[in-house]
């Protein structure tokens, strides 16, 4: 079995790679950090290929797909992603467009191209990494939350199309709350609730994917968060999320990138 993992160089993606490699899977890893990809190829052992790519660039997204062509990939793990913190009027437009390119456009392109291949073979699994943010609006991280809404809604819709087709192709969407990745170091923020580990998030998601489940929502608190929008009016929920995000601000008051 073979998987393509985006954002494999760190955090949840690195855990996906370790867990699938342990299960004997062949892997195609991608990320921008070529040195890290090389190190992972050595340390994981087994059949590991990699391709360095910046998924904010559309041509790199197609480069990744072309690299995988004819290699009978069984699972696509669309994990690469990050976010930007700050008031919508203040966040850098170029940074934000790049983030949307990675979180939304790259995931969209890869999902469509691999889905078509998987449908032809009537076999394959897509594992999209969204977030609990996908269930709500996110003042102070507005575009990140919106991007994860896209991932979530796209995945749910595809699931229904596959179900109607009685397809053996599966799609799962991982919606974690805080996960202890490079998040704290790079963003200089602290979590308002205890984060789960990247290993736990990856293992949980893989189990759900292997079971053919649509949702992978790890943790009771996060599950409750995912159903809150059914009972709490959007404006009230948005006010609550604002306060949660505000509490994550760095002590020096800077607004930095979040995963």
Ligand X SMILES: NC(=O)c1ccc[n+]([C@@H]2O[C@H](COP(=O)([O-])OP(=O)(O)OC[C@H]3O[C@@H](n4cnc5c(N)ncnc54)[C@H](OP(=O)(O)O)[C@@H]3O)[C@@H](O)[C@H]2O)c1
Question: Which residues bind to ligand X, rule: CB under 6 A?
Answer: 7-13, 31-33, 54-56, 79-82, 102, 129, 131, 176, 178-179, 181-183, 198, 259
User: Which residue's CB atom is positioned nearest to ligand X?
Assistant: 11
**34 vs 72, beta carbon nearer ligand X:** 34
Tokens of 150: 């896209």
Respond yes or no: is residue 145 known to be catalytic: no
Q: Which of residues 151 and 167 has its CB atom nearest to ligand X in the complex?
A: 151
Give residues with Cβ within 8 angstroms of 108, minimum separation 6: 150, 154
Residues 6+ apart with CB under 8 A from 256: 85, 186, 187, 188, 189, 250
Closest distance of CB 164 from ligand X, Å = 28
Nearer to ligand X, 32 or 123 (CB): 32
Closest to 128 measured CA to CA, from 99, 149, 144, 145 = 149
- Shortest distance, position 166 Cβ to ligand X, whole Å: 30
Which of 62, 65, 82, 144 is labelled catalytic? Answer: 144
Question: Nearer to ligand X by C-beta: 82 or 85?
Answer: 82
Minimum separation from the CB atom of position 126 to ligand X (A): 14
Residue 248 tokens read as 């994550």
DSSP for 102-141, written as a single string: IIIIIHHHHHHHHHHHHHHHT--EEEEE--GGGGS--TTS
Catalytic (active-site) positions: 144
């Amino acid at each position: 079995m073979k998987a393509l993992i985006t954002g494999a160089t760190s955090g949840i993606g690195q855990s996906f790679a370790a867990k699938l490699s342990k299960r004997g899977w062949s892997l195609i890893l991608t990320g921008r950090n070529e040195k890290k990809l090389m190190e992972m190829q050595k340390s994981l052992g087994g059949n590991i290929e990699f391709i360095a790519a910046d998924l904010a660039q559309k041509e790199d997204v197609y480069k990744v797909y072309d690299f995988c062509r004819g290699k009978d990939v069984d699972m696509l793990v669309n994990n690469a992603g990050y976010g930007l913190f700050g008031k919508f009027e203040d966040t850098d437009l170029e940074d934000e467009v790049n983030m949307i390119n990675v979180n939304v456009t790259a995931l969209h392109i890869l999902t469509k191209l691999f889905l078509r291949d998987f449908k032809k073979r009537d076999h394959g699994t897509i594992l999209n990494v969204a977030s609990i943010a996908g269930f709500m609006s996110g003042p102070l991280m507005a575009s990140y939350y919106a991007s994860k809404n896209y991932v979530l809604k796209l995945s749910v819709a595809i699931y229904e199309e596959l179900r109607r087709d009685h397809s053996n192709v599966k799609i799962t969407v991982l919606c974690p709350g805080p996960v202890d990745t490079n998040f704290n170091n790079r963003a200089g923020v602290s979590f308002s609730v205890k984060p789960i580990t990247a290993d736990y998030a990856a293992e949980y998601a893989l189990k759900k994917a292997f079971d053919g489940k649509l949702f992978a929502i790890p943790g009771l608190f996060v599950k409750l968060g995912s159903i809150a929008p059914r009972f709490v009016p959007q404006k009230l929920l948005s006010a609550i999320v604002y306060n949660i995000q505000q509490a994550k601000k760095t002590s020096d008051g800077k607004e930095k990138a979040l995963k």
